[in-house]
């Protein structure tokens, strides 16, 4: 079911989004060579709980942590571990979600650990750019295919591939609501967007082929060819006119 949020509800989600932004900022600052992914999870978990919010990933379908830490060929759903020490040159995907006063926020970033290669920097930059291209199309009256197509065009136009088996999603009182928000699509096709819809747009890109697979435990989704991957996600609210508001990026201003 697609839920339409009123202004007060979007405002509540704005507060959840602002808190999640702060949490991810704190985690990103600590993401350096020599640090364990379990330590990053601790930072996020403590910061969320201290603010009176709930880490939404913890125990979600049995997930054992409050953030996903996915390294290199792992694109999503990596489980933090005390045995996983971040190495110079890695790409770390940090995905986090929280619930504040009953409202969800969901956001992910990819950070380079220490110095990364030029090719990996390009993957990271293009993934972020593909998000903004997609989000720029998340306008009342446009369709979901417009969003997906814009993401896909930027990704593939730069020589990367887009993961097909996982998508973004509606978000509200639940982390995963309808509709599915794919990172590929046909312009002017799919669900028409309207004011009050809130969606998580989350491009997942591979440097090689787009096929990915989960490990037998159900987590750690990796590119099958083990090429590098990147992920970038924000929770965005469709407004009455113009560009959407990026709830998990407080103060973000669209350029035009």
| Contacts with Mg ion, residue ranges (CB under 5 A) | 95, 106, 108, 200, 233
CB-wise, 133 or 171, nearer to Mg ion?
A: 171
CB-wise, 191 or 236, nearer to Mg ion?
A: 236
User: Smallest distance from the beta carbon of 63 to Mg ion, in angstroms?
Assistant: 11
Between vectors from CA 9 to CA 3 and to CA 10, what angle results, nearest 5°? 90
CB-wise, 73 or 106, nearer to Mg ion?
A: 106
Q: Distances in Å between the alpha carbon of 168 and those of 64, 101, 120? A: 21, 23, 23
Rounded Cα gap, residues 24 and 58, in angstroms: 16
CB-wise, 89 or 203, nearer to Mg ion?
A: 203
User: Smallest distance from the beta carbon of 68 to Mg ion, in angstroms?
Assistant: 7
User: Smallest distance from the beta carbon of 255 to Mg ion, in angstroms?
Assistant: 25
Alpha helices in the chain (DSSP H): 7-30, 37-50, 118-136, 144-157
Segments of 153-238 assigned E as strands: 161-162, 168-170, 177-181, 198-201, 204-206, 212-214, 221-223, 229-231, 234-237
User: Smallest distance from the beta carbon of 124 to Mg ion, in angstroms?
Assistant: 17
User: Smallest distance from the beta carbon of 28 to Mg ion, in angstroms?
Assistant: 15
CB-wise, 155 or 255, nearer to Mg ion?
A: 155
CB-wise, 43 or 108, nearer to Mg ion?
A: 108
Query: Are the C-beta atoms of residues 248 and 227 closer than 8 Å to each other?
Result: no
Rounded Cα gap, residues 70 and 92, in angstroms: 6
CB-wise, 85 or 180, nearer to Mg ion?
A: 180
Report the SS3 class of residue 131: helix
Q: Which two tokens stand for residue 139?
A: 């306008």
Tell me the β-bridge partners of 94: 69, 109
User: Smallest distance from the beta carbon of 228 to Mg ion, in angstroms?
Assistant: 19
DSSP label of 93: E
Tell me the β-bridge partners of 55: 98
Query: Are the C-beta atoms of residues 194 and 121 closer than 8 Å to each other?
Result: no
User: Smallest distance from the beta carbon of 182 to Mg ion, in angstroms?
Assistant: 13
> Which among 99, 234, 247, 101 has a CA at the least distance from the CA of 175?
99
């Amino acid at each position: 079911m697609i839920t339409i949020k009123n202004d007060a509800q979007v405002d509540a989600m704005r507060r959840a989004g602002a808190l999640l932004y702060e949490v991810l900022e704190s985690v990103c600052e600590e993401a350096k060579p020599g640090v364990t992914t379990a330590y990053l999870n601790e930072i996020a978990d403590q910061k969320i709980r201290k603010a009176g919010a709930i880490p939404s990933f913890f125990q979600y379908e049995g997930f054992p942590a409050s953030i996903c830490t996915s390294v290199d060929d792992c694109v999503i759903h990596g489980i933090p571990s005390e045995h996983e020490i971040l190495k110079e040159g890695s790409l770390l995907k940090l995905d986090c979600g929280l619930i504040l006063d009953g409202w969800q926020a969901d956001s992910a970033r990819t950070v380079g650990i220490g110095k990364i290669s030029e090719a990996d920097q390009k993957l990271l930059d293009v993934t972020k750019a593909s998000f903004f291209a997609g989000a720029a199309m998340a306008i009342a009256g446009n369709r979901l295919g417009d969003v997906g197509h814009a993401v896909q065009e930027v990704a593939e136009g730069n020589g990367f591939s887009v993961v097909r088996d996982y998508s973004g999603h509606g978000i509200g009182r639940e982390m995963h609501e309808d509709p599915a928000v794919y990172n590929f699509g046909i312009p002017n096709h799919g669900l028409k967007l309207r004011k009050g819809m809130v969606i998580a747009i989350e491009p997942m890109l591979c440097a090689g082929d787009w096929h990915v697979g989960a490990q037998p435990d159900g987590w750690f989704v990796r590119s099958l060819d083990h090429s590098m991957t990147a992920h970038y996600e924000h929770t965005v609210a469709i407004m009455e006119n113009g560009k959407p508001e990026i709830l998990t990026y407080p103060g973000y201003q669209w350029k035009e």
